[in-house]
Structure 1
Amino acid sequence: MSFNNSILTIVKKSYSLSILLSERTVFIRNVQRMQCSLLNMHDNNVKYSRCYGTKVAANQKPDWNRAVSEAEKIVGYPTSFLSLRWLLSDEIANVALHLRKLVGSNHPLLKTAKSLIYNGRNNMQAWGLIVLLISKAAGHLSVVDMEEDKAAGVLHSQRALAEVTEMIRTSHLVHKGLVNIQPGVYPEASELNDMTFGNKIALLSGDYLLGNSSAELAALRNQDLVELMSSAVRDLAEAEFIGRRDKQNNPLPSIPPEDRSGYAVREWTLQNVLSAGALLGKSCQGTLKLAGHSEEMQAHGYKFGKHLALAWQACLDLSPFISKDSSTPFNLCSAPVMFHIEHDPSILKEIDVGLESVNAVDYAKVYEIITTGPGIELTKQLQKDHSQKAMEVLNVFQESDARTALSNIIAAMGDF
């Protein structure tokens, strides 16, 4: 009798497991469908060749894709926290299912979701890859109670820090998708409901990622590292209060002083060190701290991450002006705009139309004005300068495959 009961128990457990696996399979398929739905919502000029058995971006620069692909091979695995163990978690499953309800609305959270999934130059998951590459390039000294990941040549704690970096950055971008709902802005009930629902998802999913990053960081039991990364989160928050803003907290250029010399670089650098450079720089600094390197070497890690992030941002700022699409809204505090304001502040008349909302700005007109000035060429030089500074710091590390991969990533950003 006991034997039959044991068999029955095994059968029940097997049946339950099969149901669980079936549900997981359905969820993964739904996530894949959602990815394709979001991809298909991308700009019409983007053609795809493969996703979910059908399509992927065909107009991406192969050099960038190759550089990232080769770098992932060096560290031994794809580095993104958006891995199977995260996609199969109940929390992410709920977020994915609720996010599908927003498809077709104008909530900014969808744009963030597309940026996460779309595998292009602006793919933020490459940040974790950079942290692991600098970890491997520097190597590690004798570290107590920390095992080395033999496949990647890095410490398990360094891989955890790479995931923490991505989660902090992603949670910040998700939180930035919150919409300031004011009376009369959304008169239609359906649109108001979409925006309210999107805000709830953005707030909860951003909090979930930030909470998990804090838990993983605390699990490393390194007080100095916790303090360092906490200051990076503080910098991200501070960046949202720098300069002028419209009612939706979209950035607007600050009014230049009478002596405009150095205005563009000073304002642009302040904004982007806080919003990007500090996080990547302190992550690179922190990963060297985990490996037991000296403070001097840690300072090199911070400089490398900061300059790489600034070069990356300058490259992204150039993208709308290189693509020749004047109708697409762009960041009004991007480097080409800031350089043009320093050259000719009269353009502020067009930009200040967006004091209530940046959507009121005639982007096509601003685009045409900027293309006639020195802003684009000066931004190219800015990107090149930060790339060169990152390369100079990189030369401190010994020759290795990881260092070469980082050099290739820098070179793939633009005309280095």
Structure 2
Amino acid sequence: MRGLVVLLMSKAAGPSQHTASDLLPQDMVSGIYPSQRNLAEITELIHTAFLVHRGIVNLKEWTNSDGPLKDMQFGNKMAVLSGDFLLANACTGLAQLNNTKVVELISSAIGDLVQGIYHEMPNSLELNSDLQPFVKSNSADPVTFSLNSAPVVFHRQIVGQERWHHQLQQLRSTIKLEEGVISTMDLCRYHGNKALESIQCFPSSEARSALENIASTVTKF
């Protein structure tokens, strides 16, 4: 999807005026120039690199029943190296575009992506320090006891599977009625409408219509 959006925007916008004279018609494929296609590939490469990095497993919670520890350690190393390799190639390709504005925008997007991932992660330092008294160290495989999930786990065991699913359905219904969901939908509509406004600067074309359709889906629920 990310690469597709870049390609559609490239086709809708066309080449810039100061580079159009340096490009030949035969360089264009389906209305897209090589540099624009390279940018779409770079975008997908960056996304793939982050997906690979997020595949790293927390070995502190690993037990013998989960499998050989050496295999997971090797897998984590490969995830780090593979993700770094993809990011390095993306940065190299980005530099070869020779467009400082594009580099600035992509760098800003990477920063936003990292910040979003960071907010999804728990504060490991505070978590480990808070749970130290609850670590079972009387066995060969210490198990960290999560205070956040423990009440849920015990409650599920007490009430049973059927009642647990019923309560989950009630919880989902309650969440849908609260302002959090409404605020999220309003935020999606806001950014979707802003995207639609920005798309209007492009001349009418099939690519622009496709972008409008993509942005419109965010504003409809």
TM-score, structure 2 normalization: 0.67
Matched, 1:368 2:170: yes
Is the CA contact (8 Å cut-off) linking 1:138 and 1:398 kept in structure 2? yes
Q: Report the equivalent of 1:398.
A: 203
Is the CA contact (8 Å cut-off) linking 2:13 and 2:202 kept in structure 1? yes
SS of 2:59's equivalent in the other structure is coil
Q: Report the equivalent of 1:297.
A: none
CA displacement, residues 180-225 of structure 1 (integer Å, 9 cap, x when unaligned): 211x632347242443233133212212211111121122233443
Cα displacement (A) at 1:413 = 5.1
Between the aligned partners of 1:240 and 1:394, the Cα distance in structure 2 is: 28
Cα displacement (A) at 1:238 = 3.2
Mapping for residues 111-126 of structure 1, pairs under 5 Å: 126=1
Is the CA contact (8 Å cut-off) linking 2:49 and 2:87 kept in structure 1? yes
Q: Residue 353 of structure 1: which of 148, 151, 167 is its match?
A: 148
CA displacement, residues 378-413 of structure 1 (integer Å, 9 cap, x when unaligned): 433433332222212222222111111112223445
Matched, 1:235 2:112: yes
Between the aligned partners of 1:212 and 1:155, the Cα distance in structure 2 is: 20
CA displacement, residues 289-319 of structure 1 (integer Å, 9 cap, x when unaligned): xxxxxxxxxxxxxxxxxxxxxxxxxxxxxxx
Letter in 2 for 1:180: N
Q: Residue 177 of structure 1: which of 55, 69, 74 is its match?
A: 55
Between the aligned partners of 1:376 and 1:386, the Cα distance in structure 2 is: 16
Matched, 1:134 2:13: no
Mapping for residues 43-122 of structure 1, pairs under 5 Å: none
CA displacement, residues 238-295 of structure 1 (integer Å, 9 cap, x when unaligned): 33434761549xxxxxxxxxxxxxxxxxxxxxxxxxxxxxxxxxxxxxxxxxxxxxxx
Cα displacement (A) at 1:353 = 1.4
Letter in 2 for 1:371: S
Is the CA contact (8 Å cut-off) linking 2:49 and 2:86 kept in structure 1? yes
Q: Residue 160 of structure 1: which of 38, 45, 51 is its match?
A: 38
CA displacement, residues 45-70 of structure 1 (integer Å, 9 cap, x when unaligned): xxxxxxxxxxxxxxxxxxxxxxxxxx
Q: Report the equivalent of 1:202.
A: 79
Between the aligned partners of 1:171 and 1:367, the Cα distance in structure 2 is: 36
Q: Residue 91 of structure 2: which of 182, 196, 214 is its match?
A: 214
5+ residue gaps, structure 2, are 126-146, 157-163
Is the CA contact (8 Å cut-off) linking 1:178 and 1:199 kept in structure 2? yes
- The total of aligned residue pairs comes to 186
Between the aligned partners of 2:2 and 2:169, the Cα distance in structure 1 is: 30
Cα displacement (A) at 1:231 = 3.4
Between the aligned partners of 1:228 and 1:360, the Cα distance in structure 2 is: 47
Between the aligned partners of 1:133 and 1:222, the Cα distance in structure 2 is: 19
Relative to structure 1, the CA distance from residue 195 to residue 395 in structure 2 (aligned partners, 3 Å threshold; closer, same or farther) is same
Between the aligned partners of 1:162 and 1:189, the Cα distance in structure 2 is: 38
Q: Report the equivalent of 1:19.
A: none
5+ residue gaps, structure 1, are 1-125, 249-351
SS of 2:64's equivalent in the other structure is coil
Letter in 1 for 2:8: L
SS of 2:148's equivalent in the other structure is helix
Is the CA contact (8 Å cut-off) linking 2:12 and 2:208 kept in structure 1? yes
Is the CA contact (8 Å cut-off) linking 1:179 and 1:199 kept in structure 2? yes
Is the CA contact (8 Å cut-off) linking 1:138 and 1:397 kept in structure 2? yes
SS of 1:397's equivalent in the other structure is coil
Between the aligned partners of 2:68 and 2:199, the Cα distance in structure 1 is: 50
Higher share of residues assigned helix = 2
**Structure with more contact order per residue of length (Cα contacts < 8 Å, sep ≥ 6):** 2
Cα displacement (A) at 1:171 = 0.6
Q: Report the equivalent of 1:187.
A: 64
SS of 1:205's equivalent in the other structure is helix
Relative to structure 1, the CA distance from residue 240 to residue 412 in structure 2 (aligned partners, 3 Å threshold; closer, same or farther) is closer
Cα displacement (A) at 1:172 = 1.2
Between the aligned partners of 2:215 and 2:14, the Cα distance in structure 1 is: 20
